[in-house]
Structure 1
Amino acid sequence: MAKAGAKKDEEATAVSIDTERESRKDREEANQGWIERDVDFVMVIVTFIATVAFQAGTNPPGGVWQEDKKVNGTDYIAGKSIMGTKSPSEYIKFMVGVTVCLAFSVIQLIVMLFNWYLKSWSIRRAILYMLMLLTITPMVVAFWSSLLALTPADLMTEIKAGFWSVIGVSLIVLPFVLLYYLTKKCL
């Protein structure tokens, strides 16, 4: 009788191990699907961001001087940035933002192209989205610095009010969108 009980325990353990292996295999297959979709999506977005950053860096806001001039002791050299001449501090912020954006885009592309992911699926996803955030943030800085340099001073109050209004509305709407998504996913 003791042998029969031991044999049933061994069979139960074997079935349990097989079930765990199948369950793990199913989870890995499901995870493979989302990681491929996420990588494809992020690859397109990052490539677009890198293209925009490169374009903004080579064609700065306000354009470039078309000819050499000297006005009131200031040299305006053809091909040099107008924004860099008129608003040097904002131009530096703009160029740093665009350069950092381009650098993070290239890093993220390299990571995705060579599949330099960790084995854990949740850590892979976190890395993808953290790099995306690090790529987009400098773009916002570059946008804001070019806005400050190119907007006349008398219009800045309205521009800042519009900016903070958009941020406020976004922060109010975002929780509702997330709530809708979570309830839809759970049902």
Structure 2
Amino acid sequence: MTDIISRIGKCIKQWFIQDFDQNSDELDASFKNNMLVVATLIVAVTFQTGINPPGGAWQETKDEHEAGKAIFASRKIPFHIFLILNTLAFSMSTQIILSLVYHRKLYFEVVVATVSMVATYDTAVWSLSPEKDVKFRYVCLAALFPYLWRLSYQTFKTFKCSSRQSSTK
């Protein structure tokens, strides 16, 4: 039992840190496949809620509401929280998918499809959101966070490795 717990802990640590080298054990193929399925499911759900927000969209321009804009946007703070968290989940899941398929066949095609899907998501969210209400800087930060986090980790890891090699010389 402790061996299974230790193995699961190692997989989780490797998954979050992704500190692989050529000699270390990589994640199990079944674990990678399961994570790919989960990430794809999250992308599908968050994409759908991004392009079709809860409550739908106004059908006609009336009073203070504009046709084609999200009904939920009339509740500013909950809408902003929803939009930021949905975008964060969407972006984190796309980053996970790209990480899992890195150096695999058809990687370029997956990147092009993912970038196209992200652009579609961004366009839909932008068109459904009232121009004067949405704080897009927060939504953009939520969208960029997973990629900036991974970039900073990789940069730190590279810097740390190069400083170790120079100190051993």
What TM-score, normalized by structure 1, do the two folds share?
A: 0.41
Structure number with higher helix proportion: 1
What TM-score, normalized by structure 2, do the two folds share?
A: 0.45
Higher relative contact order, chain-length normalized (CA < 8 Å, sep 6+): 2
